Amino acid sequence: MWLQWVVIPLPPCCPDANCYAGGTQGQDYPALVASEGLSATQSAYLTGLTENTARYRSNIGMVNVRGEPATVLVGLFNGDGTRLTEYPASLGVGQWSQVTQLFLNHAGQTAMDRGYAKVTVEFGSGVFAFGSVVDNITNDPTAVAMQREPRASRPRHWNDP
């Protein structure tokens, strides 16, 4: 019998975990590639966010993985698409930033079951956004990955190839 080992390179990740009497719980974020981050004028959404002081809270984070500062505009919306507020954020080179309970702290929401954030890069590149919906009873987080805004397609002319 002949065995051959195959090494499969796996991307590094960054676990985030809580410890409690019943064990641990947490979430995991994938490795980031700078060229896949958001650049100036690009947007991404963090959906499924909630702020209900009785049960859930939402946090968002952003990281700048490029060698230049970045500025970002974060818009907060309720479930029907009404903009509640927006606020600017600055990220230095390699900086990571997290805002806890963003709907409470930036929009005064305490009983919002559905919401989302729109993150738009105004200057810079290599920006990633992520979210967490955290159970207020167990502190168990659920990761929310950014969803890029689809790029608008160019209108086609009748004789385009």
Tens-level pLDDT at each residue, the chain (161 residues): 444 444 444 444 444 545 555 554 666 667 777 888 999 999 999 999 999 988 999 999 999 999 899 999 999 999 999 999 999 999 999 999 999 999 999 999 998 889 999 999 999 999 999 999 999 888 888 899 999 987 654 444 444 44
- Between strands 56-64 and 70-78, the pairing is unpaired
**pLDDT of 8:** 41
Could you tell me which residues are beta bridge partners of residue 134?
A: 57, 141
| Burial class of residue 138 in the structure, from the number of CB atoms within 10 Å of its CB (0-12 exposed, 13-18 middle, 19+ buried) | exposed
What is the dotted CATH code of the domain comprising 40-148? Answer: 2.60.290.11
Please say whether the beta carbons of 116 and 48 come within 8 A: yes
Give the total residue count for the chain.
161
* pTM for the predicted model, two decimal places: 0.78
CA distance 97 to 153: 32
**pLDDT of 21:** 59
**pLDDT of 35:** 85
